[in-house]
Amino acid sequence: MTTQPATAADAASVAARRHFLMGTAALAGSAVLPLSATSTASAASAAPVAEAVASTAPAALARTGATDARLAQSARGMVTSPHELASEAGLEVLRAGGNAIEAAIAIGAVLSVTYPHFTGLGGDAFMVISDRDGNVRTFSGIGQAAAHTPAYGSATGSAIPVRGPGATLTTAATVAIWDKAFAFSRTQWNGQQAWSSLFSRATEYAANGFPVTPSQHFWQTFRAADLPNWDGFSSVFMPGGRIPAAGERFHQPALARSLDSIATHGGREFYEGDLAGRIAAGLKRVGSPLRASDLSRAQAREEVPLRVAYRDGELLGLRPPTQGVTTLEIMGILNRFDLKSMPEGSADYYHVLVEAVKLAFLDRNRYVADPDFVDVPVERLLSGANLDAHARSIRMDRAMPWPHVFRTGDTVYIGAADSQGNCVSMLQTVYFDWGSGVVLGDTGVLWHNRGASFSLDPASPNVLAGGKRPFHTLNPGMYLKQGRPQLLYGTQGADGQPQTLAAVLTRLIDYDMDPLTALRRPRFLLGKTFSDSRDSLKLEQDAGADVFTALAARGHEMSPLPPQSQLAGHPGAIRIDSQGQMSGAHDPRSDGRALGV
């Protein structure tokens, strides 16, 4: 159902935003007005990189972030995201009386502008939501493959491209998630914010510009050799034919107009309205197999979450084709070990986490795909018998071999909690950094490349088929204790997501660290990376030389990562105690921040 403005507040917001756009000349293709003084000051105040703390005694680590300004604290509401302007947009919604879903939508919309290398309107998204009493639902937004897919495979000698028009193989469901969640907010959480108002900051930053983040500059520079080959990319992301510098103001007037259309006409405008027609025309023009009929069939799904017991609580995640079951399986295996008997950050600690990851990844690669097309035995994978068997197979003195395929990808995490105890844990993505690289016509929309995660092997459960949803690495989650939300968490990082979450969750739950401390501790990544094609165990160097030596002695092929490496993910987390007091942080490796009301 299309979300139309339904109140006087909606109509007023539409008029105000339209006046704003006309005043900026965004509708004519340029943007000249300055941002507010508050927004400019906030954008300029980037958080410093956290110092290595590997040498700190474990007992002293639990609360080392307690006096750090980057650890947000509040009893009235909290948000976290990888960009401070996005977090501020969510905070504004909470302060205006909005709920956690409304705040998350506002954050997601801003990130689609200010973090374009990791998320956007042309990507997918997921939510885990709960009220104060632990009534949890999930929203899964995965674009399906075109009804008529290209003839990839042995017959043509081709493969699924990872960039360019051939990678624009699936529809995009981020806007569908916002639309469905907003409807839920109105009917179930008494949401009062105007749909259109949730896009005001995103439209402002697209029209008037925002300072380019170090992350955006890094990933655009990293891909500099490829950029000229991406349809429509340079005209949007390389003003004057060059990569904008970090801190330089960057404008996206075409995207501002697309956001304005969605804000004015509702979420289904992206799939069935005039904007959808322009998107479909842009896709057809570059040679994508997607058509207007494919866009009109894109929908978000509301589902019951998967669950697994962990310590004295319960972890919840999304159903396949996401790897939510994989993170839960890892944690279910670790629940069979007495982690508190192992010093946090020791070789034993990293070893048992890595071995649990390997076992769960083997199951994931064997089974996880679209359950509309194949049977995915989630109950068996999360059964006590399977978790027990996997735990028994782990040898503390010897590492399993690991020659398996690594999946890349980039994402943004959004967390929000309001004063009524409602919570949202959310991820948005365009898959690879910069997605397919294709910008569609005059829409300013960068399309994702999630279809590249399909297999062409007929024996694979994830084999490409028309209308099928691809395997998805995204899996935001939630931890309930005594039936109520205690932790909201998620991260970017594709294959790294379950690995990062295993480290973050064990530090938050088993070692009782505050979110900031848990997020800045050294992390690992098993498998290939952009800079290292070996299937080795990457570990941040501040884990300590003795840990590297001990892990190598057990058979792990070790590769060092710099401390606070970008390859270690950008997780965020919010903790809610039994009295409703909240503490939260976003990874110091990112450009983001948690903010409390």
- Give the DSSP per-residue string, 440-507: ETTTTEEB--GGGGSB--TTSTTB--TTPPPPB----EEEEETTEEEEEEE---TTHHHHHHHHHHHH
C-alpha–C-alpha distance, residues 44 and 213, integer Å: 10
C-alpha–C-alpha distance, residues 175 and 169, integer Å: 17
Catalytic residues, by residue number, are: 411
Q: Using the CB atoms, write b or e for 109-134: b if 16+ within 10 Å.
A: bbbbbbbbbbbbbbbbbbbbbbbbeb
Name 165's Cβ contacts closer than 8 Å, sequence gap at least 6: 231, 286, 287, 288, 436, 438
Residue 538 in 3-state DSSP?
A: strand
C-alpha–C-alpha distance, residues 525 and 536, integer Å: 8
C-alpha–C-alpha distance, residues 164 and 447, integer Å: 10
> In the β-sheet with 537-540, what is the strand arrangement from edge to edge?
524-526, 537-540, 558-561
Q: Which two tokens stand for residue 338?
A: 């007495």
Which letter does DSSP use for residue 50 in this model?
Answer: P
Q: Classify residue 207 as exposed, middle or buried by CB count within 10 Å of its CB (0-12, 13-18, 19+).
A: buried
CA pseudo-torsion sign 131, 493, 466, 168? positive
C-alpha–C-alpha distance, residues 20 and 264, integer Å: 14
Residue 153: strand pairing partners: 158
